[in-house]
């Protein structure tokens, strides 16, 4: 489980609930207690909005990463950034993962990951500019495009010197995609898993869920969990989430049905 921690005043989901540093730190404590193995700290919301420069982004995340690292030495800390300069700063502060949600918009980010021996998440965005919404994007085959782009990005990371076990691919639901694209990626996620790279999915409360079920942001949990079950059955390895406990149960159940995980106990009919 990768739990989302927003250091932003305008997140689409929590609307700034963890903008204050102490509130964000309380969120970290909560998700760690709930069993999250990774926290993903972000300083800029993905949607269009007020321009946030590199200095402001660093101010929002670097010292906070250092604080979390000091408090939780064994916790895996990810930072959601596409900027190499910010990536360098957070790695120096103790980050373990660079989550590039914008598909290699800054080509030097892989060099930063290699320099600091950290992991990198390679996403598919269809080449859109960071913090822009997709508009009438078309793909001959969105899954083929996602596989081609993420595996090419993964290879660039390897060529830069990132360890193979430190590279993850992500179809990036909603990013550079309409709802039909995201549904197709969910339905055929097994094809991405079949590349051999570990797959991360970020499904939590996204617009493709809301549009599918006609539900606003605060009412998308059930739809999110349904999509999660499909991705878990297909073999996704990492889940970027708002709701840790509920997602864990869904993933555990799906993985157990698939034969990848034993039941926590199995005494029925034995005593």
Instruction: Name which CATH class applies to 2-257.
Output: alpha beta
Q: Which residues of 131-148 are buried (b: 16+ CB within 10 A; e: fewer)?
A: beeeeeeeeeebbebbbe
Catalytic pick among 60, 240, 260, 265: 240
Of 45, 156, 177, 206, catalytic: 206
Q: What confidence tier does 18 reach under pLDDT thresholds 50, 70, 90?
A: very high
- Tell me the per-residue pLDDT of 189-206, one tens digit each, with 9 for 90 and over: 999 999 999 999 999 999
* pLDDT, tens digit (0-9, with 9 covering 90-100), for 70-122: 999 999 999 999 999 999 999 999 999 999 999 999 999 999 999 999 999 99
206 is annotated as an active-site residue: yes
Element containing residue 92 per DSSP (H, E): helix 84-93
**Cα distance between residue 41 and residue 5, in whole Å:** 5
**What is the chain's length?**
271
Cβ pair 173, 123 in contact under 8 A: no
Q: What 3-state class would DSSP assign to 184?
A: helix
Residue 249 CB neighbours (<10 A) = 11
User: How confident is the model at residue 37, as a pLDDT?
Assistant: 98
Could you confirm whether 220 is annotated as catalytic? Answer: no
Rounded distance between C-alpha atoms, residue 83 and residue 45, angstroms: 14
Instruction: Tell me the percentage of the chain whose pLDDT exceeds 90.
Output: 93
């Amino acid at each position: 489980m990768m739990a989302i921690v927003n250091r932003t005043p305008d997140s689409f989901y929590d609307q700034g609930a963890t903008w204050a540093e102490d509130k964000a730190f309380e969120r970290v404590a909560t998700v760690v207690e709930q069993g999250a193995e990774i926290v993903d700290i972000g300083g800029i919301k993905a949607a269009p909005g007020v321009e946030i420069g590199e200095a402001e982004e660093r101010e929002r995340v670097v010292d906070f990463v250092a604080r979390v690292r000091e408090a939780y030495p064994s916790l895996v800390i990810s930072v959601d950034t596409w900027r190499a300069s910010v990536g360098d700063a957070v790695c120096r502060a103790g980050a373990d993962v660079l989550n590039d949600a914008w598909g290699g918009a800054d080509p030097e980010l892989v060099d930063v990951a290699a320099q600091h021996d950290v992991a990198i998440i390679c996403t598919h965005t269809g080449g859109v500019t960071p913090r822009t919404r997709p508009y009438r994007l078309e793909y001959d085959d969105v899954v083929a495009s996602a596989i081609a782009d993420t595996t090419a990005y993964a290879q660039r990371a390897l060529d830069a010197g990132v360890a193979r076990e430190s590279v993850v691919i992500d179809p990036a639901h909603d990013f550079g995609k309409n709802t039909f694209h995201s549904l197709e990626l969910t339905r055929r996620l097994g094809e991405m898993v079949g590349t051999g790279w570990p797959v991360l999915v970020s499904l939590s409360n996204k617009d493709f869920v809301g549009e599918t079920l006609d539900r606003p942001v605060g009412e998308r949990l059930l739809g999110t969990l349904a999509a999660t079950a499909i991705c878990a059955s297909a073999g996704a390895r990492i889940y970027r989430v708002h709701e840790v406990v509920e997602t864990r149960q869904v993933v555990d159940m799906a993985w157990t049905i698939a034969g990848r995980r034993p039941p926590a106990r199995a005494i029925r009919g034995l005593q």
